[in-house]
């Protein structure tokens, strides 16, 4: 992306169905890299069939325009954690577990020595997840604060899953398009469009080594609701 920043023949960058499967700290590095790209004068577009929470937070933080498939959805659920506790179950079988804790906040073996979450464990988890939630809120408000039709907390309270229509009405996305509409829009705005398909490697199934009768297996992936508005 830093290389793209210095390319004078690049006017815009489109991220299509890019869900960066990484940690929050690495997401910050991606946010800064795309930020440098945007500061160089390039327009940043994000398009996805559906948006996960972190994928959307990044898009909201840095994109000039966020586009979603009309049949897609957007998830804005926060952070949470559940744990199973086995003290009562183990006790039924005469098994007891003693947890040598150095202090209350050492909770690694609590699932074996406790029957529920302790106050100290809950406090430490809330501290972490509230900080992550605050950071996700910051990213969304950074780029969408003046575009939201309601307070962010009000949007959260209505439910973590939103259809494309609901996301558009809330101001979380700018427009709804099928992929062919997207290609047409980019071509009209910039007079050209370099399209590249997703990378894929053909599977080597070795048909010559199979016994008769052979069974063909078709591997398909991707979203089932992509399609196009003209078809």
- In CATH terms, 2-77+159-209 corresponds, of 3.90.226.10, 3.30.450.40, 3.30.110.70, 3.40.50.1820, to 3.90.226.10
* Whole-structure pTM value: 0.74
Rounded to the nearest 5 degrees, what angle is found at the Cα of 200, between the Cα atoms of 197 and 201? 150
pLDDT band at 195 (very low <50, low <70, confident <90, very high): very low
Nearest to 75 by CA among 60, 93, 91: 60
Q: How far is residue 40 CA from its own chain's centroid?
A: 25
Model pLDDT, residue 23? 79
Strand partners, 14: 45
Average predicted confidence (pLDDT) for the chain: 84
Between CA 56 and CA 76 the distance in angstroms is 8
In the chain, the N- to C-terminal Cα span, in Å, equals 35
Between 76 and 22, the more confident residue is 76
Between 159 and 111, the more confident residue is 111
Q: Is 50 exceeded by the pLDDT of residue 46?
A: yes
Percentage of residues in the chain having pLDDT higher than 70: 82
Model pLDDT, residue 148? 94
Chain segment 63-100, per-residue pLDDT in tens = 999 999 999 999 988 888 889 999 999 999 999 888 88
Model pLDDT, residue 65? 95
Between CA 39 and CA 54 the distance in angstroms is 22
Chain segment 115-131, per-residue pLDDT in tens = 999 999 999 999 999 99
Q: Is 60 exceeded by the pLDDT of residue 29?
A: yes
């Amino acid at each position: 992306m830093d290389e793209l920043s210095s390319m004078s023949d690049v006017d815009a960058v489109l991220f299509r169905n890019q869900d960066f499967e990484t940690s929050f700290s690495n997401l910050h590095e991606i946010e800064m890299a795309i930020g440098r790209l945007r500061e160089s004068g390039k327009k940043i577009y994000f398009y996805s069939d559906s948006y996960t929470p972190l994928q959307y937070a990044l898009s909201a933080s840095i994109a000039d325009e966020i586009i979603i498939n009309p049949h897609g959805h957007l998830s804005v659920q926060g952070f949470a954690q559940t744990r199973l506790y086995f003290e009562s179950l183990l006790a039924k079988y005469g098994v007891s577990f003693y947890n040598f804790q150095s202090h209350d906040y050492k909770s690694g073996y609590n699932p074996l020595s406790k029957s529920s979450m302790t106050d100290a464990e809950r406090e430490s988890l809330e501290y972490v997840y509230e900080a992550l939630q605050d950071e996700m809120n910051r990213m969304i408000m950074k780029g969408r604060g003046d575009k939201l039709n309601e307070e962010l907390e009000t949007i959260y309270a209505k439910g973590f899953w939103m259809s494309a229509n609901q996301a558009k009405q809330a101001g979380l996305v700018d427009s709804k398009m099928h992929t062919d509409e997207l290609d047409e829009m980019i071509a009209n705005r910039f007079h050209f469009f370099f399209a590249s398909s997703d990378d894929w490697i053909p599977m080597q199934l070795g048909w010559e080594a199979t016994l008769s009768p052979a069974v063909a297996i078709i591997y398909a992936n991707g979203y089932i609701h992509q399609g196009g508005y003209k078809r």
